[in-house]
Chain A
Amino acid sequence: MTRLWPLPIFLAAIGAALAAEQPPRSGLDYATPGLRAMQADDFANPGMLWVAEGEALWDKKDGMGGTSCQSCHGALSSMAGIAYPRRDPRDPSRLMNLETRIEQCRVDRMGAPPFGYESRELLALTAAIRNQARGKQSSVVEDAAAIAEGERYYRMRRGAFDLSCAQCHEERAGKHLRDETISQGQSNGFPAYRLRWQGLGSLHRRFQVCNNAVGAEPSPLGSQEYIALEWYLAWRGRSLPVETPAVRQ
Chain B
Amino acid sequence: MKVLVSVPAVVRRGEAFEVKAMAMHVMENGFRRDMDGKAVPRKILNHFTCRYNGEIVLDCDWHTPISANPYMSFAVKAVDSGTLTFEWIDDDGSIERHSAPITVT
Q: Which residues of A contact B (CB under 8 A)?
A: 41-44, 46, 48-50, 52-53, 198-199
Contacts and interface: CB of A to CB of B under 8 A. Distances in A.
B69 interface: yes
Interface string B47-81: 00000000000000000000111010100000000
B73 A44 contact: yes
A198 B68 contact: yes
A43 B73 CA distance: 10
B22 A199 contact: no
B31 to A, nearest CB: 14
B4 interface: yes
Interface of B: 2-6, 20, 22-24, 26-27, 67-69, 71, 73
B67 A49 contact: no
B68 A43 contact: no
Given A49-B4, A53-B2, A198 B71 contact: no
Given A43-B6, A49-B22, 7 more contacts: A43-B5, A46-B69, A49-B4, A52-B2, A52-B4, A198-B26, A198-B67
A176 to B, nearest CB: 26
Given A44-B22, A46-B22, A199 B4 contact: no
A46 B71 contact: yes
A42 B20 CA distance: 10
Contact of A199 (B2, B5, B69, B73): B69
A43 B2 contact: no
Contacts of B71: 44, 46
